Amino acid sequence: MSNVIDFLERLGQDAQLRDAPQEDLELALASAWIDPELQAAILAKDQKQLEVLLGSVNVCCMVNPGKEDDDEEEDAEENPSRGGGGITTHLASRAMGSAA
């Protein structure tokens, strides 16, 4: 698999190779010791087939910043009915209720 990744990296970095005629690309793939089915997927620019053959998929991860601590304290002061404890208060209440 590292041969394929190395080749794709080289393909992305080398404009001459990326824009090379099909025959030159086939020679470069053969010299990189890449399996024929992977070569076919690369030549066809078939991302889904590459993912299947390599056993990998795209992963997308999103990270959102949490609220500032100051915001939580202000919310507790503005909305005393919420208890200010959030999930901790709720869990503690449940634990005490189930113990009784």
Question: Would you say 61 and 26 are in contact if contact means Cβ atoms under 8 Å apart?
Answer: no
Question: Would you say 51 and 61 are in contact if contact means Cβ atoms under 8 Å apart?
Answer: no
pTM for the model stands at 0.53
Per-position b or e across 18-32, b if 16+ CB within 10 A of its CB: eeeeeeebeebbeeb
Residue pLDDT, tens place only, 38-97: 999 999 999 999 989 998 877 788 888 887 776 556 666 666 555 555 555 555 555 555
Question: Would you say 17 and 11 are in contact if contact means Cβ atoms under 8 Å apart?
Answer: yes
| Number of compact structural domains in the chain | 1
Q: Is residue 23 part of a domain?
A: yes
Q: Is residue 80 part of a domain?
A: no
Q: Is residue 26 part of a domain?
A: yes
Q: Is residue 76 part of a domain?
A: no
Q: Is residue 32 part of a domain?
A: yes
Domain span including residue 21? 2-54
Q: Is residue 99 part of a domain?
A: no
